[in-house]
Structure 1
Amino acid sequence: MRTTLKWIHVFIQLISGNSNVRPPNYTYIHYQQPLGYKPKKIPKERLLDSRPRKKRFEYAIVSAFVIALIALLLVLAPKIANASAFEQSTGSGDLLFNGAGKNNQPALHLKSEVSVDISGMIATTRLQQTFKNPTNDWLEGTYVFPLPDNASVTDMTIIISDRKIKAEIKEKHIAKEIYLQAKSEGKKAALVEQKRENIFKQHIANISPQEEITVELTFYQTVKYDNGYFEYRLPTTMTPRYTPKDNAHSRQKNQNLENSETQSTAIHLGTQGWNNNLSAIPFIQSHKPSESDQNSEVDNPIKIEIQLDPGLELADITGLYHDIKAERKNGSYQISTDKTWQSMNRDFVITWLPATGSKPEVALFKESIAGENYGLIVLLPPTEQTTEVNRSVTFIIDTSGSMGGTSINQAKSALMLALKRLSPKDTFNVIEFNSNTSSLFSSPRYAESGNLNSAFTFVNSLRAGGGTEMKPALNAALQSNSHDENLLEQIVFITDGSVTNEQDLLQLIHNKLGNKRLFTVSIGSAPNSYFMNKASQFGRGTSVHIGDIAEVHNKMQDLFVKLENATLQNITVDWPNHIDAWPKKIGDLYRNEPLVIAYKENTAVQSDITSNIHGFFGDGTLWQQTLTISNASTSKNNKGISKIWARKKINALMDKIISGESEDDIKPQVVEIALQHSLLSKYTSLVAVEEEISRPLGESTAHANVPLVSPLGQTLITTPQTDTPKALHLILSILLFVFGLMFHRLHRGAHNV
């Protein structure tokens, strides 16, 4: 037994880095067998058991010990490897308490309440989330949350008892200095920063024992209009983000211009809102399975109430992933979840459909603030007659660990439908990626039955697991060529977008897109909507989101319409000199997609605005409209238009960095517009400080964590990256070394008996 303990001691010393340790009773001997030497023949019965019983027992103990360690390492290996691959980010409603560290008691997330006011195309959202410090320590909290990628965050208030702490916008470094100073002085303070385009982080200092705090955020956004439906989306949690190894990038630009025949129409906008004859809106209610109404039985409960004034006669209102109930009051809808409290485990989405005959064609929304005039134009161009388009399509499907659970099934179903839609004149290929990238074919092949059957077999065999090394797959698709100039080259990218290197990937798309078009299919109940929308923008394509297996057919059918029909390209607007409109560069438009432009008048003179809008269909036909905006309108002031204009301008400026312009040149412009309009940005933060001192001198702060809620239906498979971490390699090597020594000693013992 003493020998066994010595072996365990040797093993521990080796793990600790002591390379000079030697096995017990082990002597290195080098000798040469004499010429003509013949080893003594060992009787058969001694070959079967040449070791004493005591030695056999010792080896059994050592073997069992080492085998148990190997088994443990195999179980922990995915977690060890995955820790270096995924960011340690948290979901919505997570208040992470940080400090000197007296204990690790979890903070209690009590509730979240959302109040939304939607008027036409503008949504104003107020999000309140209430937390409690259940400990007897003073705490500092860090609060991480997602918001819509087009949200203009303007206000933040911390409510503690009967006191309200209102935030101010400052440059990021100044805001942080103010917060840290207040924290050190024992004052209650709050700081909110933009970590990514759709992820924000909030710090709250000096929360007293047993105290409740409420965080209130206000933001504005435009609702989405596509394929005849309006959509409001509120993210409530996040999928863990994967951090790839490679962040290299390159630069190139490419754009084509076509000219041909002319189509011309004229539109005059004298009033705001949809340019339709408004009539009574009927009562509609959606039907979907509901959850428990018991607050205590729901993880991170949220209550959502919406007032909808659509400005159009409606045929349907639907809650895509939640049951909703609706009641008509004074010409608008009061909408809420069917069960008061819902879990914050998926995006909340509602859609509404205009009634037949009230399809919007153009809308104008205006706001006058501080003597300045702002406007938002939503224009739906006419669709071209359907023409047959032969295509070369490269499908990219994400099979990484974050796609585990229902997501991989949604992705495979979507891909299967897309493959079945191909024409024999089309060519295609399928690329799948996780930690590695693999292609079905070495180059695109025609969509003949044999090739399609191979593709069906390939897709059916796909399983989720591994890292999200997205760049090699995307690069392979961008470099793929159809070798047929008559084919329209398209890329269909099916993923949840859960990576941290969005900017690097967008630069890759910008540099290598060429004449291709990239379409994104967002998968899962909490995808990275910022990356998916931006990727389709830089890819001159469009995006669709599938959050439930029941949506696959309808959502993919909508995408097929866009894939198989010509686009409206090279769109320009001839604005007068006193109009500052964004975006400056307008991307391609697909069937049933609107053109959305925000503008500001840089003059106090009230006069009508006239502009010409024109673009080209895929066959070279020119489309053109004359747009006249009357400033004589007495319609209501639409609050939030100025914030939306400022957000669009900031987004366009940040896009220039991705396109290759210097960040040093762009940053001052972003800071100026963000400070002027009190907006969060990459370079500005909101900070709030209460003047009175709360925490007594000498009292330190403690920390605690709130557990996050995983996205609904997701089974995160945290398998290792391509290269196993060095620590794991070292431990496995040491185990093999110990095994080698043990069996070498066993072999010597057999010959020395």
Structure 2
Amino acid sequence: MLASIQIGAASPVAEYLKLSTDVNNGYAITTVEEKLSNPAETAVEDKFSFLIPEEAFISGFTLIIDGKEYRAGVLPKKEASERFESAASEGRTAGLLETKDENLFAYALSFEPGQSIIVKLTYEQALKKTLGEYELVQFLESSRSVANFSVTINVNSANQLIRLETPAFPEAEVEYLSSNRGQVHYKADSLPISELRVVFETANPPLNGNMLFYENEGQGYMMHIFSPSEEDLGTSAMSKEIIFVLDKSGSMQGYKLEQVKDAFGNIIEDLPPGDYFNIIFFDSSIQSYSGTLMEANEEQKTGALDFVNNLEANGGTNINEALLTALGMFNPESGRVPIIVFLTDGEPTEGVVSPYAIRQNIKDANTAHVSIFSIAFGIEDENNYSFLRAMSLENNGTAERFAPDDNASEEIGSFYKTISTPLITDMDFSYSNGLSELVNTGEKNLFEGSDAIVLGKYSSETGKIQADVSASTRTGARIFSKEFTVSPKGENAFIPRLWAYTTIESLLDRIEVEGENEPLVSAVTDLALEYKFVTPYTSLFVEVPEFSSPGAEDGEETVPEMPAGEPATKNERAAPLSSQIQPSSDSRYESNMEIEEPVEGEVAEKVAEESTPGFGALFTFSGLTGIAYLLHRRQR
């Protein structure tokens, strides 16, 4: 979870580490707070790193030094970088936090003898409901010992909280506070060696959904939660047509291919009657189990398993031909839900190899509106993963990464379960006049145990909102209608941030598909600045004042104006909240650490000697006058 990379012989001591999470209807806000002290009689420097969840946006970073709190401000990325460079070149102490290719947050601190520093980091994310439950994981492993460690997780839901538990972690205490609120506590005098996994389940909203409201300064925000179950619908899940398109090129040889055979062997065995399926393996050429989709009866499933188990890996990677072959097998008039599960471990090397040409070919050929779910199996190249993700997004699907380790087969199987049971397709949400800037968290299909959430704005003068959801179910077309009375509540204050978070995520998805353009980038930047999120187009910048300067009276502080990094007021301080933190090895932290180049010359040397304790030069002997605080965020 948290690692230290020592710079000097001594190392600061962690007096306490607090993780706290507030989850409101699936939206989690996290604060990690740690107090670090230097018990030595000499100054020491240290670097610290930990991972944040892939889908999280950092929304706050604060240092408390000698009782004064300094909070970073969010600026456009270019402006933040320019201000950091200016501060560093002029010998002022400053910090910069920006997005990179990994979801790693890293910072460095210097400590005077006996000095203590408190560090706070806040980030936010939307948890996804899958298979009827939410999961929150706290990885508690660390290379640094902590004498006082605590975790607090608050769960609040508009619907009844049915279950809240911490599987395989009996030391944690679970407390139910009301019918829709619960809390998890954990305290220890050291960090545990296992993860804390919190699982909770809430009751489904009524058939036509719930609608929550919040108003602030004349602006209203709504949240429509739509999540019917088979029981609510009075019918079973829809049958599907599914084709598994699987890479067996030379790079899949050995353990990778064995994991794929194991995972998809289990998936094929579990296909329900009424589904139609096929399997396509590809390398330089294409090998199909059948020339057409086959009914999922025992005879066909047995034949498919033999086909899978007898294949060997070799050759190149012809992604274009494999997917076009699969798309040509679907019948748009079948009435079944069309799905492709596509797995590859590399970039295209045979046939059409341009990612843009492949995407265009697939989009043009997808006349049956097939949802393509991509599995990036051991892919580390960001450009290759971006290609798979963009292709899936523009074909009604998503992309997920999986490492080819011992758990790969089980993890792929778990992912498949989330898309294996379609309840509703072709969803379309419409609302009465007065709503604006709507954003939908769901796709066109709703799978068993998941939900679709629509967020938007309304005028505070609005009294009622009519919601209509048209969709297809196993029994045919249906419309789910309800008129909701607007009733704003203070407990729904999270909705504006969830709306902004979801809107930014949607815009970033569009950038993934369409490429960067000025309107989309400006929209992301404007929202991120308003709601103080760190994104690929915004950064956190903080400048810490010097506490003495030539010409100041004895004992008098001289504090320069700091538009983005001034000490936070009491009302501005980040509230302690939380979500999930991922572990990582020390070697990875060190390899991803980036520090600004030293400023050369006499001015730099002088500033290094006089820099503010705790947030000054990282390497005083080299004259470094600024510290870069870097968030490495995994590309979606």
Coarse TM-score class (shorter-chain normalised): 0.5 to 0.7
TM alignment of 1:713-728, pairs within 5 A: none
Match of 1:612 among 467, 486, 497: 467
Question: Which deviations, in whole Å up to 9, do the C-alpha atoms of 1:199-255 show, x marking residues without a partner?
Answer: 255555766689765542223333322332233356x5xxxxxxxxxxxxxxxxxxx
Match in the other structure for 1:319: 166
Residue 600 of structure 1 aligns to a residue whose secondary structure is strand
1:429 to 279, 303, 312: 279
- In structure 2, the residue matched to 1:47 is none
Letter of the structure 1 residue corresponding to residue 243 of structure 2: V
CA drift at 1:426: 3.2
Equivalent residue for 2:201? 353
Q: Structure 1 stretch 109-118 or stretch 173-182: which is displaced more?
A: 109-118
1:78-136 alpha-carbon deviations (Å, 9 max, x no partner): xxxxxxxxxxxxxx645679xxxxx7879779585320022333322112356789997
Aligned-partner Cα distance in 2 for 1:651–1:641: 15
Contact 2:63 2:120 in 1 (8 A): yes
| Separation of aligned partners in 1, 2:262 and 2:98 | 38
TM-score by length of 2: 0.65
User: 1:623 is matched with which residue: 457, 469, 478?
Assistant: 478
Q: Which residue of the partner structure matches residue 414 of structure 1?
A: 263
How far apart, in 2, do the equivalents of 1:166 and 1:400 lie? 51
Give the CA deviation at 1:691: 0.8
Give the Cα–Cα distance (whole angstroms) in 2 for the partners of residues 173 and 618 of structure 1. Answer: 49
**Cα shift readout 1:306-325 (whole Å, capped 9, x = no counterpart):** 12234544443343575562
Q: Is the 8 A contact 1:393 1:491 kept in 2?
A: yes
Per-residue CA shift, 1:133-162, capped at 9, x if unaligned?
99978869585633241x343221123453
Structure 2 gap ranges (5+): 349-354, 548-606, 611-619, 628-636
Query: Offset at 1:437?
Result: 9.2
Distance between the aligned counterparts of 1:334 and 1:505, measured in 2? 51
Matches within 5 A, 1:297-376: 304-319=151-166, 325-328=172-175, 330-331=177-178, 332-336=181-185, 349-354=197-202, 362-376=209-223
Q: Give the Cα–Cα distance (whole angstroms) in 2 for the partners of residues 449 and 221 of structure 1.
A: 40
Structure 1 counterpart of 2:444, from 587, 591, 598: 587
Cα distance in 2 between the residues matched to 1:200 and 1:206: 20
TM-score normalised by structure 1 residue count: 0.57
Contact kept? 1:190, 1:203, Cα under 8 Å: no
1:396 corresponding residue in structure 2 = 246
CA contact (8 A) 1:428 1:445 kept: yes
Query: Is 1:647–2:501 an aligned residue pair?
Result: yes
CA distance in structure 1 between the partners assigned to 2:83 and 2:457 by the alignment: 33
Query: Do the aligned partners of 1:96 and 1:141 also contact (CA within 8 Å) in 2?
Result: yes
How many Å apart are 1:569 and its aligned residue? 0.7
Structure 1 residues 432-581: aligned runs within 5 Å? 446=294, 448=300, 451-458=303-310, 473=319, 476-477=322-323, 479-483=325-329, 485=331, 486=334, 489-493=338-342, 513-514=366-367, 515-519=369-373, 537-541=393-397, 556=413, 559=416, 562-563=419-420, 565=422, 567-581=424-438
Distance 1:453 1:659, change over 3 A: closer
Q: Out of 156-165 and 489-498, give the one that drifted further.
A: 489-498
Instruction: Kindly provide the amino acid, as one letter, of the partner of residue 576 in structure 1.
Output: N
Q: Is the 8 A contact 1:506 1:534 kept in 2?
A: no
Residue 568 to residue 109, structure 1, CA distance change in 2 (3 Å): farther
CA 1:506–1:354 in structure 2 vs 1: closer, same or farther (change >3 Å)?
Answer: farther
Percent identical among aligned pairs is 16
| Larger strand fraction of residues | 2
1:700 corresponds, among 622, 627, 632, to 622
Change (3 A) 1:700 1:661: closer
Cα 1:125–1:484 change in 2 (3 A) is: closer
162, 169, 189: which is aligned to 2:67?
A: 162
Aligned residues of 1:440 and 1:458 also touching (Cα < 8 A): no
Q: 1:441 to 1:411 in 2, by over 3 A?
A: closer
User: Alignment length, in residue pairs?
Assistant: 530
Q: 1:122 to 1:489 in 2, by over 3 A?
A: closer
Tell whether the 8 Å contact from 1:398 to 1:494 is kept in structure 2 after alignment. Answer: no
Output one character per residue of 1:294-341: Cα deviation in whole Å (capped at 9) or x when no partner.
Answer: x87989998532122345444433435755623326434331459775
Alpha-carbon deviations, 1:571-597, whole Å to 9, x = none? 132352453211399532223332201
CA distance in 2, matches of 1:571, 1:361: 13
CA–CA separation in structure 1 for the residues paired with 2:249 and 2:289: 18
Who is 2:603 aligned against? none
Aligned partner of 2:543 among 683, 686, 689:
689
Change (3 A) 1:161 1:677: same
CA contact (8 A) 2:265 2:305 kept: no
Change (3 A) 1:338 1:115: closer
| Alignment pair present for 1:118 and 2:31 | no
- Residue 490 of structure 1 aligns with an amino acid whose one-letter code is I
Shift of 1:599: 1.2
Letter of the structure 1 residue corresponding to residue 447 of structure 2: Y
What value does the CA root-mean-square deviation take over the aligned residues? 5.4
Q: Is the CA contact 1:94–1:109 (under 8 Å) kept in the aligned structure 2?
A: no
Q: Which residue of 1 aligns with 2:526?
A: 672
- Alpha-carbon distance, 1:427 to partner: 3.9
2:69 is equivalent to residue 153 of structure 1: no
Letter in 2 for 1:454: D
- Quick check: 1:138–1:701 contact (8 Å CA) kept in 2? no
Contact 2:161 2:182 in 1 (8 A): no
CA distance in 2 between partners of 1:116 and 1:108 (Å) = 26
Q: Please say if residues 147 and 190 of structure 2, whose CA atoms lie closer than 8 Å, have aligned partners that are also in contact.
A: no
CA spacing shift, 1:178–1:579, aligned 2, 3 Å: same
| Corresponding residue for residue 562 of structure 2 | none
CA distance in structure 2 between the partners assigned to 1:373 and 1:399 by the alignment: 54
Is the contact between residue 250 and residue 313 of structure 2 (CA under 8 Å) also seen in structure 1?
no
Q: Please say which structure displays the higher CA radius of gyration.
A: 1
Cα deviations across residues 527-559 of structure 1 (Å, max 9, x unaligned)?
A: x9x989987654424789999989978995894
Out of 125, 130, 135, the position equivalent to 1:226 is 130
Gaps of 5+ in 1: 1-91, 98-102, 237-290, 705-753
- The 1:510–1:632 alpha-carbon spacing in structure 2 relative to 1, beyond 3 Å, is same
- CA deviations on 1:604-637 (whole Å, 9 max, x unpaired) are x42224233232316693322334343344x333
* In 1: Cα distance, 2:206 partner to 2:411 partner: 20
Residue 368 of structure 1 and its aligned partner are, at CA, apart by: 3.0
Q: Distance in 1 between matches of 2:512 and 2:84?
A: 31
Q: Which amino acid aligns with 2:537?
A: Y
SS, match of residue 264 in structure 2: helix
> Which residue type is aligned with residue 524 of structure 2?
V
Change (3 A) 1:311 1:426: closer
Give distance in 2, aligned partners of 1:94 and 1:507.
Answer: 41
Return the alpha-carbon distance in structure 2 between the equivalents of residues 206 and 181 of structure 1: 21
Q: Aligned residue for 1:260? A: none
Task: Determine helix, strand or coil for the equivalent of 1:480.
Answer: helix
- Which position in structure 1 is the counterpart of 2:583? none
